[in-house]
């Protein structure tokens, strides 16, 4: 379905109408039919092209929603400062939205994240503070550092993990767009979680629209990388971490506020090699360049489609673009060092 048919409830006019400013150009992304994944399963598998947002990722939506909410509740005033802890993409979204609306952004980020995201944040003017990667229970974890920095300086802490404006943004836009773009013919939705804002917001929004339309509520499936505790949480109700992943921005050791109280039907745990297979196939077979979390999402969508059987429709999220990960996903030495397959055209 064309972007021009996105309903006003989505809050975004989409790219077919003139955008008065950057904010209006966030969301309204194309829903791409993934040819290979669909052929493989006999289903229709769609990927929402979130890499086409102005900041290049799904996190532009959360950034805009969080800034909107802080302006509405009066905590963010003209010329104010926003502080956030992020794997990078939320920082990019916040900095661009901040630039557009006159706010300064201080971004705290683990130094393990891709060089490309770090360099991009510097070039767009973020006040970037890199910190060593630490577990959440350590006070040096980037989330805690960002919270303390906001408290000490009187700035607004975006708090994307527990700030429900994040999932509400996805409920109002991403879910509404998915429903509209599939004409309500959606059997399942799958995606990975960092904050859980995307999965939770889409789950809530699809439930709203399906119930109003008197249609079955699409199945909601978590896609989880190795090294994350969420798969076990969905499957057995317990949190425990096994293995690790090279993907960025996804996987959790705890249940963030945005995921709490959300009904999730099932979960798939996807190893990096299976995700990379999808990243490389999307690129070479369909010209779609995505990062690792999108690979996890598409691999999970294929598993769900196989379980449902031919004729079903499954949607997922193409969270960001491959250019953000040249130094990792497309670096033969890095991949070899992790025991992962190296695509022949870069070897
Ligand atoms: N993929 C990428 C590349 C991300 O940066 C993020 C956000 N950290 C996600 C997926 C997960 O999105 P969410 O925070 O809405 O769960």
Compare 3 and 129 and report the one with higher pLDDT: 129
Residues 75 and 212 in one domain: no
Query: Has residue 6 got a pLDDT over 70?
Result: no
- State the residue range of the domain holding 79: 59-157
Angle, helices 174-181/197-213, rounded to nearest 10 degrees: 50
Task: Single out the residue of 95, 140, 87 nearest to residue 113, CA to CA.
Answer: 87
Tell me the pLDDT of the chain averaged across its residues: 95
As a whole number of angstroms, the distance between CA 222 and CA 231 comes to 7
> Is residue 197 lining ligand 1, measured as CB closer than 6 Å?
yes
| 309 Cα–ligand 1 center, Å | 28
> DSSP character for 25?
G
Higher per-residue pLDDT: 285 or 1: 285
Q: Are strands 219-225 and 127-131 parallel, antiparallel or unpaired?
A: unpaired
Q: Are 185 and 215 in contact (CB under 8 A)?
A: no
| Total domain count, the chain | 2
Domain-embedded: residue 9: no
**Distance between Cα 320 and ligand 1 center (Å):** 9
Which of 134, 157, 180 marks a domain boundary?
Answer: 157
Q: Which atom of ligand 1 is nearest to the CA of 196?
A: 16
Q: First-to-last CA distance in the chain?
A: 39
Indicate the pLDDT class of residue 14, thresholds 50, 70 and 90. Answer: low
45 and 141 both lie in a single domain: no
Same domain, 257 and 109: no
Q: Coil, strand or helix: which one is 104? A: strand
Determine whether the shortest distance from the Cβ of 193 to ligand 1 is under 6 A: yes
93 with 187, same domain: the answer is no
Catalytic site includes residue 59: yes
User: Using CB atoms within 10 A of its CB, is residue 273 exposed (0-12), middle (13-18) or buried (19+)?
Assistant: middle
3-state secondary structure of 271: coil
Residues 52 and 93 in one domain: no
- φ, ψ of residue 20 to 5 degrees: the values are -65, -25
Q: Is residue 2 part of a domain?
A: no
Helix (H, G, I), strand (E, B) or coil at 165: helix
96 lines ligand 1 (CB under 6 A): no
Pair 264, 175 in one domain: yes
- Answer yes or no: is 4 within a domain: no
5 is a domain residue: no
Q: At 16, is the pLDDT very low, low, confident or very high (cuts 50, 70, 90)? A: low
Please work out whether the CB of residue 258 comes within 6 Å of at least one atom of ligand 1.
Answer: no
Last residue within a domain, chosen from 139, 157, 175: 157
Task: For 232-253, write each residue's pLDDT tens digit.
Answer: 999 999 998 889 999 999 999 9
β-bridge pairing 31-33 and 44-49: antiparallel
111 within some domain: yes
145 and 275 part of one domain: no
Q: Stretch 153-168: mean pLDDT, rounded?
A: 98
Report the percentage of the chain scoring pLDDT > 70: 95
Strands 156-157, 188-191: pairing is: unpaired
Encoding tokens for residue 14?
């989409």
In DSSP terms, which residues pair with 175 in a beta bridge? none
191 DSSP 8-state letter: E
Residue 80 placed within a domain: yes
Q: Are residues 122 and 170 in the same domain?
A: no
- Per-residue pLDDT of 64-78, as tens digits, reads 999 999 999 999 999
Ligand 1 centre and the CA of 99: distance in Å? 22
Q: Is residue 139 part of a domain?
A: yes
Residue of 48, 59, 117, 328 with catalytic role: 59
CATH number for 300: 3.40.50.1100
Task: Tell me whether strands 104-110 and 127-131 are parallel, antiparallel or unpaired.
Answer: parallel
Residue 214 CA, ligand 1 centroid: distance in Å: 31
Question: 95, 124, 157 — which closes off a domain?
Answer: 157
């Amino acid at each position: 379905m064309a972007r021009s048919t996105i309903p006003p409830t989505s809050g975004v006019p989409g790219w077919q109408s003139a955008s008065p400013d950057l904010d209006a150009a966030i969301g309204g992304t194309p829903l791409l039919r993934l040819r290979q994944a669909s052929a493989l399963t006999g289903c229709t598998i769609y990927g929402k092209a979130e890499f086409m947002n102005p900041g290049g990722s799904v996190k532009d939506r959360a950034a805009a929603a969080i800034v909107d909410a802080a302006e509405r509740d009066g905590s963010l005033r003209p010329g104010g400062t926003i502080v956030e802890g992020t794997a990078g993409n939320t920082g990019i979204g916040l900095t661009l939205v901040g630039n557009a609306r006159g706010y300064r952004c201080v971004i705290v980020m683990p130094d393990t994240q891709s060089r490309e995201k770090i360099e991009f944040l510097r070039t767009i003017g973020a006040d970037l503070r890199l910190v060593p990667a630490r577990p959440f229970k350590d006070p040096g974890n980037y989330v805690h550092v960002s919270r303390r920095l906001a408290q000490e300086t009187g700035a607004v802490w975006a708090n994307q993990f527990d700030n429900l404006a994040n999932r509400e943004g996805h409920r109002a836009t991403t879910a509404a767009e998915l429903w509209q773009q599939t004409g309500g013919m959606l059997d399942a939705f799958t995606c990975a979680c960092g904050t859980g804002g995307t999965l939770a917001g889409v789950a809530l929004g699809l439930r709203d629209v399906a119930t109003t339309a008197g249609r079955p509520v699409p199945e909601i499936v978590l896609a989880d990388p190795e090294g994350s505790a969420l798969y076990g949480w969905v499957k057995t109700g317990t949190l425990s971490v096994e293995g690790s992943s090279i993907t960025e921005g996804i996987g959790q050791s705890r249940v963030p506020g945005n995921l709490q109280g959300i009904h999730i039907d099932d979960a798939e745990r996807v190893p990096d090699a299976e995700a990379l297979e999808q990243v490389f196939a999307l690129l070479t077979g369909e010209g779609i360049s995505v990062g690792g979390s999108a690979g996890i999402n598409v691999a999970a969508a294929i598993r769900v489609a196989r379980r449902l059987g031919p004729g079903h429709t499954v949607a997922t999220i193409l969270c960001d673009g491959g250019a953000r990960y040249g130094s990792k996903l497309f670096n033969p030495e890095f991949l070899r060092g992790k025991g992962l397959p190296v695509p022949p055209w870069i070897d």
